[in-house]
A and B are shown apart, each in its own frame.
Chain A
Amino acid sequence: MASTEEIRADLAEIVNEVTGIDADDVQLDKSFTDDLDVDSLSMVEVVVAAEEKFDVRIPDDAVKGLKTVGDAVSYIEKAQAAV
């Protein structure tokens, strides 16, 4: 099972690929919209890439609840644990 830090780092890489934001800025306490300026369409791209990378399903309804990078990382952790 990947550690929280490993998931955060992989997710940061995805955010960087989709938006060009520096991966080092993608920290657990950062808000996708307020701090990282990731808009809802980019968020969909990040989510789809994350689904492939982490082999989890993140439905649109759940995406709305992922305010911070930490929210996304813990959602992925829980989804992986449930498999």
Chain B
Amino acid sequence: MTISVDTTTRHSAVLGLGLYRASRVVPNSEVIEGIDSSDEWIQQRSGIIERRFALPEETVVVMSVGAAREALADAGIEAGQVDCVIVATVSHMLQTPSAATAIAHELGSTAAAFDISAACAGFCHGMALASDMVRAGTAKYVLVIGVERLSDITSASDRGTAFIFSDGAGAAIVGESDEQGIGPVVWGSDGEQYDAIRQTEDWRDVVAAGSTEMPHLVMKGAEVFRWAAFAMAKVAMETLDRSGITVDDLDVFVPHQANMRITDAMARSMKLPEHVTIARDIAHQGNSSAASVPLALRQLVLDGEAKSGDIALLIAFGAGLTYAAQVIRVP
């Protein structure tokens, strides 16, 4: 008795993109109070001019649905055609059920739906899963969403993070294509730095201590900067190599929008040529963790800075520590 399986391998590609920016524009002047800082200091340290915070009604599900609808329209498919919904997030504040089933339902889909937790690297992890699903025939169309409401878990008085984090959602439709449009993923983790970026405490300890304050995110800035700017530049180069691409072939570089200084250091370390468009979405969005890569990529397309057919390198890295990167063809 053998188990029957389809052994055909297909090509996968990104077919559409969508974004949802949280509505409230929060300038540096609003966040400096809690951290005894200045607009100049924040811009110099991070490149952030302003960030987006969600209104109360802009939940993780609402923002995701907004980004997903735009991605579906961009790909020219209906929600009913989607076979799987993957949602990367760390700020859906329910342990269970997942955000993904609510998002699928809101879109009018009964597809397989689940959340993944790989922090800021979540979207690129989701893209890897989606690409392999399409190649194996497990799904014809996969909706991948990166979404965060980090303002819920950011302390306004934490000097290392209060000016960095933000809210928003980005989405991509991955589906079958005549030629391969998504390269092999290069991914991994470094659990030795488990506490480099983390939630301050376990929820149970919060309750046991009788605290009325939510736990929040904290980060070891210098350690994370060293890892992100240098170790990740090496991962980026390996990712290009695995796809048979050189920096000269590259059109667009979309690193996780963690900090403009990390992006600059990575670009220097990778010796990216002048012609490569570098995503700098962080200036007006802030760091939206899992949402940052699709938000930045979609904005480059909307602004005409990334064109259909361009070769783009996506790389995301974050708490865990985790990282994932792949080369894609811009839809």
State in angstroms the CA–CA spacing of A44 and B226 once bound together.
6
Q: Is B265 close to A, CB under 8 A?
A: yes
Complex CA distance for A44 and B45, rounded to whole angstroms = 13
Are B223 and A60 interface neighbours, CB within 8 A? yes
Task: Choose from B45, B223, B226 the contact partner of A48 (Cβ within 8 Å).
Answer: B226
Find residues 41-86 in chain B having any chain A CB closer than 8 Å to their own CB. Answer: 44-45
Interface residues of B in 166-207 (CB under 8 A from A): none
Q: A40-B221, A45-B265 are in contact. Are A60 and B44 (CB under 8 A)?
A: no
Interface flag for A41 (CB, 8 Å): yes
Q: Which of B205-219 contact A (CB under 8 A)?
A: none
- On chain B, the number of residues with a Cβ less than 8 Å from chain A's Cβ atoms is 12
Q: In the complex, A81 Cα to B45 Cα: how many Å?
A: 35
**Residue of A39, A41, A60, A63 with most partner-chain B CB within 10 A:** A41
In the bound complex, do residue B223 and residue A39 qualify as a contact, i.e. CB atoms below 8 Å apart? no
Interface string of A51-80 (1 = CB under 8 A from B): 000000000100100000000000000000
Min C-beta distance of A58 to chain B, whole Å: 10
Whether the pair A45, B45 counts as a contact (CB closer than 8 A) is no
Do A48 and B222 touch (CB < 8 A)?
no
Could you say which residues of chain B place their CB within 8 Å of the CB of A41?
A: 45, 221-222, 225, 259, 261
Residues of chain B contacted by A39 (CB below 8 angstroms): 44-45
- How distant is A56 from chain B, measured CB to nearest CB, in Å? 15
Residues of chain A within 8 A of B114, CB atoms compared: none
Q: Complex Cα distance A38/B44, Å?
A: 12
Let me know if A44 and B229 touch, CB within 8 A.
Answer: yes
Given contacts A41-B225, A44-B222, A47-B226, 6 further A-B contacts (CB under 8 A): A40-B222, A41-B259, A41-B261, A48-B226, A48-B230, A60-B226
Q: Would you list 11 pairs from A and B whose C-beta atoms are within 8 A, ordered by A residue?
A: A40-B221, A41-B45, A41-B222, A41-B225, A41-B261, A44-B222, A44-B225, A44-B226, A48-B230, A60-B223, A60-B226
